[in-house]
Chains A and B, each alone.
Chain A
Amino acid sequence: MVGLLIGCAILALFPLFSVFLYVCQQGLPGLHVNFFTSLPKPVGEVGGGMANAVLGSLILITLASLIGIPVGIATGVYLSEYGKTKLSMILRFCTELLAGVPSIIIGIFAYSLFVIPMGRFSSYAGGAALAVIMIPTVARTTEELLKLVPVHIREAGLALGISRWKVTLIIVLRGSLSGIMTGVMLGLARVTGETAPLLFTALGSQYWPRSLDQPIASLPVQIYTYAISPFEEWHQQAWTGALVLVLFVFILNLTTRMILKRHAPAKD
């Protein structure tokens, strides 16, 4: 029986490892400075990079963060500091449900809000979709980590005659800045690789981003487009793009872990 359980662990880990190894092995040869500095070349020409897609992804993530981070943090603070009422129980449940909505559905939502009225695909639509996806992740992490702040610290503040909102802002939030950073980074990691909601909101492009109301390239969508294309050079680029994406997500997750480890309440 023990062997069976070990077998399960190996069976589960093996394919996951295989993905990682292939991404490294296939992606590394194409990882030049060029990848980050030049535009995609037409099929048949050697070289070229995904500079526009990297920049596009950064723009989309920035747009998403502008809405997603403040709303997420505020929701998290509300759930942690005023979280005992019936309404907040419902809200907590809704946050969970929002986290469970398939991201492609959020794409349709952003399409209906931005693409239909504006008559074209745009960075705004893509950013909005990513923002919605980001909110529940940021909110849940913020809530969890604010709850780690001991109640007596809040009470100490209140006992000094400081009003509650100042206690929340100055003592609770300041005291758990690292917790909030964690939430933000998990949110960023979550949306960095999102592809489905961008397919018909930001669409994609082969050029530098020019204006926010135009279609914009992004790394995940570019990887998808290149992967399903029939061209060998593009497949190579797709692997390199995947490597960059994976490294970025790993760095975000690792940093989060390090912050959490440093600030976690001491065990044992």
Chain B
Amino acid sequence: MRREAHLGDRIFYLLLNGVALSVLMLLGAIAWQLIHLSLPAIHKFGFGFFSSTNWDPVQEVFGAGPVIFGTLVSSGLALLIAAPISVGVALFLNELAPRRLAEAVGFLVEMLAAIPSVVYGLWGIFVLAPFLRITVEPWLSGHFGWLPLFRGAPYGVGMLAAALILAMMITPTIAAICKEVFRAVPQSQREAARALGATKWETMRLAVLESSHSGILGAVILGLARALGETMAVTMVIGNRAEIAASLFAPGQTMASVIANEYAEASGDLHLSALAFVGLALFAVSFAINSVARILVWRLNRNRGRDF
């Protein structure tokens, strides 16, 4: 009887262990397949692939420069917009708002954040892009036209639209993690600050923000990871042209959007391979960024656990 139970336990454990290990193997298999698919492009272009700025499927010349540029600009701009707003939202919800209101707003944000990316894209095409084309971009080029950033014809779709829609989509992510981080700050710290005569704002700055630096950084990095891989909404509003332009009004292309746009209709093997190479780079980058962010958040939790 005892031996039987023992055997059952072993089988059960091995079964679960095997399934769980398949997750590990899945990650490995994804990397392996991506490398395998990109081999022709790696042989043909080498590492010059990432610095070359010519992406021309017709001539079968592929360089990832424009799509890397597009990814960096759209995600970077999105972070610049979303990070301060998200921290503000998290502070508001955690420190200021009455509990009922905070719960209601938190619930709304969570629901709206679950709206699929393709729906954001649809909204982007028919609401955001016309708004930018008719109102925002003419105003920007009228007042700040001396900057090369805001020159050129206002198309509506383009880098600016992509950055704005990304900012919208990553704000709930960053705000949710920041809220967790702020909530983990011990109440005694806030009380200490208040006891020293700090105002509400000073309390937030000294007691909450000051001790949450690495947590906020982790949240922002996770937001960045989300922005880099975001595909559909960006594909629908960025204009899809693999060019490097100084103006934010100009159409662009990101690493994810070029794959979404061209993979199904790729003309030749080299084209497919070049797209897979872009995918491999995107995979490596998001792998690295996610690791860093996870480790940051994890270490934060561990340290807090030790101190209190």
Interface residues of A (CB under 8 A from B): 1-2, 4-9, 11-13, 15-20, 22-23, 26, 70-71, 74-75, 77-79, 81-82, 88, 90-91, 93-98, 100-109, 111-113, 121, 132, 135-136, 139, 163-166, 168-169, 189, 192-196, 199-200, 203, 220, 223-224, 227-228, 235, 238-239, 242, 245-246, 249-250, 253-254, 257
Contact = CB atoms under 8 A, between A and B. Distances in A.
A23 B12 contact: no
A175 B224 CA distance: 38
Contacts of B113: 16
Interface of B: 5-6, 8-9, 11-13, 15-17, 19-24, 26-27, 29-30, 33-34, 36-37, 84-89, 91-93, 96-97, 105, 107-123, 125-127, 168, 171-172, 175, 200-201, 222, 225, 228-232, 236, 256, 259-260, 263-264, 275-276, 279, 282-283, 286-287, 289-291, 294
A242 B115 CA distance: 9
Nearest to B202: A1
Contact of B26 (A78, A90, A135, A250): A135
A17 B256 contact: no
Nearest to A220: B118
B122 A82 contact: no
A6 B98 CA distance: 12
21 contacts: A8-B89, A8-B92, A12-B85, A16-B109, A82-B17, A94-B24, A95-B23, A98-B27, A104-B256, A105-B283, A108-B34, A108-B275, A109-B33, A192-B116, A193-B115, A196-B260, A220-B118, A245-B118, A246-B116, A253-B110, A253-B114
Contact of B19 (A74, A88, A103, A104): A74
Given A8-B89, A164-B9, A168-B12, A97 B287 contact: yes
B16 A246 contact: no
Contact of B109 (A12, A102, A223): A12
Given A104-B231, A165-B8, A249-B114, A227 B125 contact: yes
3 tightest Cβ-Cβ pairs between the two chains A and B: A193-B116, A102-B229, A8-B88
Contacts, number: 250
Contacts of A22: 123, 126-127
